[in-house]
Amino acid sequence: MHASTPRRAHARVLPACRDDVGDRLPRIACHDAMGASKRLCIGVQTLLHNASCAQLSRLPYLVRVIEEIGLAGDRRVNALYGRAAKYMLPWGTSRAGLWQDPFQISSALLHVGGRLVAQHPTGHLFRYVEVGVFTAWTSCIIAAFITRVGGGAPFVGSAVDVHQTNIASSTMRLLHKLNVSFVPRSRLDSQIRAAQATGENGVRYDLCFIDGDHQYFAVRNDFGMMARWCGAAMFHDIQDTSTMLNANYSGGVPLFWAHAREHIRKERTTELTMQIGAAWPVFGIGIIWPGERGTAETDDGTTPETWRAWLGRGPEALWHELCRKSQAGLSAGSQLVCSLSTASDLSILIAATKRHPSKAELQYISSIPWNATRSKRKAYKVGLEIVSSNAEISTAENDASNLILSSPLGS
């Protein structure tokens, strides 16, 4: 437990967070943890017990915690993780690592903590579900953070996937300590169908993180199934070009996100798309905040089942579908993808994202004009290198990075 710190240090960013609730938090012991699992355990322990609210309210601090936990091994290395590649777990390390951009996931935590958790009724149970967890390392981090910054409010989570093969036994034990249960996807589907059949209404989950099948229609169906039951919905890979070729260039998560935004007011969305990856657009996190009904449903009354038809028909059709609007009308994630390619470039761009690219491919991708996006990304990376102790997340702004940096670059 920490001694009380002045609330002014974090009140704007994480207003519900308190340093005097240590006795209400799960106790995590890491002395028996081995190998990569020990890094995850120590990271969770840090978030729950070793960090003050003031520390947790600072983006650079969270980024360091995420990096020290370790990123999932990937052959794309710097192209995927940029300078954070040095925190990547050894290639071949099974059932371990965070498949995240450290800045994006840290920013998402601060947005959720500063907006959703802060507005949650005091003392009420916070309910979280993650659809598609793979190693479940991200589930552990999100559960620990929400539990810690919730002012002592109870937390319950569901980690959903088709099977639990990719979840290590040590991770499963950690999930249990964090009050997160593994739920087979088939069981979640049955529960939702039963709720619909009985005419149940109301939010089942305060936050839903949808990160399952990345084919366009799969993520669209997941949103259609979950939106009415979720207070807020969060999506992973909203700008990740590698998901676009799934199911004959279906467009993956980026195209789903572009379509979803057509039915949701801009002020209800937050996009975290700035990256440290060295080449193409990767990852990206999008958040849909609760609407007038208190759910993640659309504002125009439509459901994904009623959205206009789209069938993947190759890279040129995908490019025209994703980039058909003026740049001003595109989401930040789509702007980044579209500014990196033309219709003919897109197939090369996507092909290179699916494997370790050759030097020639990297040079080609890096030479595609980035215009304003390039300078914006450079400023972002340089600004974060400063590791300002006063960096904060702005929950009022909805630009691509959603950052306020206490440095000349933030002005």
How does pLDDT run across 355-372, given as a tens digit for each residue? 665 666 555 555 544 433
In this structure, are residues 5 and 53 in contact, taking their beta carbons and an 8 Å threshold?
A: yes
Mean pLDDT of 213-217: 94
Q: Are 37 and 169 in contact (CB under 8 A)?
A: no
Rounded distance between C-alpha atoms, residue 302 and residue 320, angstroms: 23
Of 128-137, 198-207, 344-353, 379-388, the poorest mean pLDDT is in: 379-388
Confidence of residue 242 (pLDDT cuts 50, 70, 90): confident
Q: Which residues lie below 8 Å from residue 148, measured CB to CB, with a gap of 6+?
A: 17, 25, 47, 48, 51, 56
CB 269, CB 277: distance < 8 Å: no
Exposure on the CB side of residue 318, measured as CA atoms within 13 A: 30
Which of 131, 133, 70 minimizes the C-alpha distance to 98? 70
C-beta atoms surrounding 394 within 10 Å: 17
Grade residue 404 by pLDDT with cuts at 50, 70 and 90: very low
Q: Which amino acid is at 6?
A: P
* Per-residue model confidence (pLDDT) at position 20: 95
Q: What is the average pLDDT across 73-84?
A: 88
Instruction: With both helix axes pointing from N to C terminus, report the angle between 59-69 and 102-111 in degrees, rounded to the nearest 10.
Output: 130
* Higher pLDDT pick, 189 / 333: 189
Measure the CA dihedral 266/267/268/269, to 10°: 60
pLDDT in tens, 147-158: 999 999 999 999
Per-residue exposure over 268-299, b if at least 16 CB sit within 10 Å of its own CB, e if not: bbbbbbbbbbbbbbbbbbbbbbbbeeebbbbe
Distance CA 97, CA 89 (A): 7
Three-class DSSP category at 52: coil
Q: What is the mean pLDDT of residues 146-169?
A: 97
Give the global pTM: 0.85
Q: What is the pLDDT of residues 283-337, one digit of tens each?
A: 999 999 999 999 999 999 999 999 988 887 788 888 888 887 655 566 766 776 7
15: Cβ contacts below 8 Å, ≥ 6 apart: 114, 118
**pLDDT for position 279:** 66
pLDDT for 365 equals 52
* DSSP, residue by residue, 354-398: TS---HHHHHHHHHS--HHHHHHHHHHHHHHHT--TT-EE-SS--
Helix pair angle (315-322, 343-353), 10° resolution: 110
**Closest residue by Cα to residue 285 from 332, 236, 334:** 236
- What DSSP assignment string belongs to 55-103? HHT-HHHHHHHHHHH-BPP-TTTHHHHGGGGGGBPPTT-TT--B-S-HH
Residue with tokens 């993780």: 81
Q: Which of 51-65, 217-231, 266-280, 373-387 has the lowest mean pLDDT?
A: 373-387
The b-or-e profile of 321-356 (16+ CB within 10 A means b, else e) is bbbeeeeeebbbbbbbbbbbbeeeebbebbebbeee
